[in-house]
Structure 1
Amino acid sequence: MATASTVLALFQGIATNKDVKANLSKMREQTIKAKEAGASIIVFPELFLTGYYLTAEEMRDVAQPNTGEAFQELSALAKETGVAILYGYPERVISEDGFKCYNSAQLIDKEGQSILNHRKVHLWIDDEGYRWEDVFTPAENFSEIVECCGFKIGVLICYDVEFPEAVRTLVLRGANLILVPTAVADQWIRPLVEHVIPARAYENRVHVAYVNNTGSRFDGKSVCCNENGETIASAGEGEEMVMATVTLSGAKSWHVRDRRPALYEK
């Protein structure tokens, strides 16, 4: 059976709140470094375009449509470098229902085309009562699976991956690589990178790249796990980029094969 292999660049960085220009400059710098290191795809953290802890008003002020100025700049960068780019950003949508803001992640292929735009489904309420539903609208479905760099890619954002059903949904749609921009504080990150992410990879026989913010309240420790749930790349707590070579074996998950959905529906 033919195998596919590609190199991912996982950049866990410190975004400057409300300074899109500064964050785009850092994304350019890191994408060029990723190209020089042989990467085909670079993954940036959740809401990296704008910074994370903003008020609802601040987030709406810096939100952009998925075809906005930031996309145009990153599209040109992807074409220039030949590196696909996944980045987190607040997405502005104006429709008949009025203004909405989504916590989104967009994947741009090496030709500069937007091929996937996932809107976060599960919104977190933290211990201090910070309600993301006061800032964002939760999406009502998952993004489609797309082919890129030899893989069938699905995207989740942060809290989404903590629900087994979310990962299983993407795998049942054909995903063999799941990319997860995230923003997790230090008290939560260890069980996630040591247990949850490896379990999601193992039980679905799928690669999972989990890319965290760092600095301020965030603790880095980004990881990439292979189809066996083994960690093949990991970062420390500071700002850095780590490389992960993912290779598709073609093996199927027995957990997917042996499902009994009729029982679960009961």
Structure 2
Amino acid sequence: MNEKMLDQMKNGKGFIAALDQSGGSTPKALKHYGINEDQYSSEEEMFNLIHEMRSRIITSKVFTNERILGAILFRKTMNSKIEGKYAAEYLWEEKGIVPFLKVDEGMEAEKNGCQLMKPIKSLDEEIKEANEHKVFGTKMRSVIGAANREGIAEIIRQQFEVGKKIFDGGLVPILEPEVTITIPDKAEAEEMMLEEIQKNLEALPEKYQIMFKFSLPTKEGFYDELAKHPQVVRVVALSGGYPIDEANELLSKNSGMIASFSRALLNDLSAQQSDDEFDAKLDEAIENIYQASIQ
């Protein structure tokens, strides 16, 4: 584990940029960026276009470690180059931004109101590649769609089990049990989830260091105590479908969390913008998310 990266993630001021759209979400991300599906005819062309978008963001003069602590990458991005360097190496060596890798392969069908991760068949290979590219950590997502104790307990057990394997492989895992923000029993689901997390943390050997990524909580400051746990490097928030202004407002009320936003970061960017226009819009989004993260 890179101790400088660890210190930046644990103590730095700023947020994590989520640039990890994968196969299922890429067409939507490109369309929002101003590139329609009729502008590419293969998966390879699609991923080349999304890599161009991500490269434009990462190489922007406003995308710096003064406000951005880390960035989450998709595997294809990690294995692609930006200005002659692989993306993760470019992030750390040129920008001083800590690289993470999304490792989950989607989710199972809903059971007990929740969706577990599908088995990550390529996990060993991805851990090896991530270490070769000097990646610091990983991210993996499950979804909680109801306040169902059995389903939530199973999700948290799975996240911790895979997280331990990732840490044993030399990386710091971000566990992401996302509570759907529109469910009527969201607050109750969050209570159950935190209880299950605390049980698993109590049983976690001291050597393990982990991070968490949560939906913005119903109750202000809900994860503040969790963020102080000695084995928790950081607690980060996903925007979860909230409009950017609302997401930033909610985040600013949770001092124990920093942002790890995707849609909220990329919302006003377009392939048709000039570089100056692009940088101005990106700078505005970064500043707003940064301010919400350091409250």
**TM-score, length of structure 1 as denominator length:** 0.48
- Point out the structure with the larger strand share: 1
**TM-score, length of structure 2 as denominator length:** 0.44
